[in-house]
């Protein structure tokens, strides 16, 4: 047991220790719910314009006229230390059965129900000439238009039903030998799906997968290699913070000191940071080590 329980007394047949734990559980959960209720609604504004300047957000791009009033839209930008001619080949081969999307393949393959997505680590000559109608995601999403070397526009098909979706990948020169890689997405959903909770989840998921795609593509265009088993490491480190929070919660329930609650709250904050901020792996490892070191220290102190 992580933390030993205190002696209990009974009043009218009610276990006072159990009642106390229930109250502490409700208090701890309420603290986390309030915290997340403050933080999570603030994130969409960041989701929508990550890395982009006001000019890049306000600019018109190919495909904007297809869905003039989307319920969800974003413009993301990253500077790539490579000229457009080195970035474009990685854009040209995007697609599930092509070069994949350089994002989290374990999530993509989980949704697909098969190992369909395999991120390319080299330029694939057979996929360098996308044309209107080229499938990008099964039969649901295809190339709408393309200007080789500059941009590619994807659009949802009738297979998506009443859901409208456009996705643009755009590259342009920037600075000395650099590029600006811009991705714009627009989604239009039917009224029955236009709920705040659903849109927030769709927004968050699109951001996590989209940012990972952009950083993965930029890394490849710059000639750098993705660390081996990076996805597995991210899962392990995310889980490490999660279990530190759960351990702190157990300690808070079974002992009177309130300090473990702070460890639990810190773990929740770091889970949000790991998910959306995507810090470097070594930073995530350091954070996990600190969380666990503090938790073990508190457990040792209060078990005496």
6 token code pair: 């205190």
Report domain extents, the chain: 18-41+230-302, 49-221
Torsion over CA of 105, 106, 112 and 113, rounded to 10 degrees? 150
Beta strands in the chain (DSSP E): 10-11, 14-15, 72-80, 135-137, 141-147, 151-156, 164-174, 178-188
Is domain 49-221 classified as CATH 3.30.530.20? Answer: yes
**How confident is residue 250, by pLDDT bands cut at 50, 70 and 90?**
confident
Place of tokens 């769709």: 202
210: left (phi over 0), alpha (psi -120 to 50) or beta: alpha
The 10s digit of each residue's pLDDT in 24-52 is 778 778 888 898 889 999 999 899 999 99
Collect all residues with Cβ–Cβ distance below 8 Å to 212 and sequence separation of at least 6: 102, 103, 104, 278
Neighbours of 299 (CB within 10 A): 18
Mean pLDDT in residue range 170-191:
93
Of the candidates 210, 218, 179, the one whose C-alpha atom is nearest the C-alpha of residue 75 is: 210
pTM score of the predicted model? 0.86
pLDDT at 281: 94
Whether residue 5 is predicted with pLDDT greater than 80 in this model: the reply is no
278 has a pLDDT exceeding 50 = yes
d(CA 215, CA 82): 13
pLDDT tens, residue by residue, 183-200: 999 999 877 666 678 889
Q: What DSSP assignment string belongs to 25-47?
A: HHHHHHHHHHHHHHHGGGHHHHH
Judged by average pLDDT, the poorest of 8-12, 108-112, 244-248 is: 8-12
**Alpha helix (H) ranges present in 52-195?**
54-58, 84-92, 105-112
């Amino acid at each position: 047991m992580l933390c030993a329980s205190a002696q209990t007394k009974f009043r009218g047949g009610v276990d006072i220790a159990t009642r106390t734990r229930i109250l502490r559980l409700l208090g701890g959960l309420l603290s986390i719910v309030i915290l997340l209720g403050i933080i999570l609604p603030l994130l969409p504004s960041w989701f929508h314009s990550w890395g982009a300047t006001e000019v890049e957000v306000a600019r018109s791009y190919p495909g904007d006229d297809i869905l003039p009033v989307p319920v969800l839209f974003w413009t993301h930008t990253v500077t790539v230390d490579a000229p457009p001619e080195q970035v474009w080949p990685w854009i040209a081969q995007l697609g599930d059965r092509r070069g994949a999307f350089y994002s989290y393949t374990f999530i993509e393959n989980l949704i697909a129900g098969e190992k369909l997505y395999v991120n390319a680590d080299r330029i694939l000559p057979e996929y360098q000439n996308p044309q209107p109608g080229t499938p990008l995601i099964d039969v649901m999403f295809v190339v709408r238009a393309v200007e080789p070397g500059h941009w590619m526009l994807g659009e949802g098909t009738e297979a998506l039903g009443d859901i409208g979706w456009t996705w643009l990948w755009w590259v342009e020169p920037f600075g000395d030998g650099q590029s600006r890689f811009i991705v714009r997405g627009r989604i239009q959903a039917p009224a029955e799906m236009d709920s705040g909770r659903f849109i927030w989840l769709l927004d968050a998921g699109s951001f996590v997968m989209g940012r990972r795609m952009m950083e993965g593509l930029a890394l490849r265009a710059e000639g750098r290699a993705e660390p081996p088993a990076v996805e597995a490491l991210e899962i392990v480190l995310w889980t490490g913070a999660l279990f530190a929070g759960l351990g702190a919660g157990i300690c808070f329930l079974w002992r009177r000191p309130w300090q473990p609650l702070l460890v639990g709250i810190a773990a929740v904050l770091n889970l949000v940071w790991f998910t959306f901020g995507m810090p470097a792996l070594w930073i995530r490892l350091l954070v996990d080590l600190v969380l666990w070191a503090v938790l073990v220290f508190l457990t040792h102190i209060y078990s005496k």
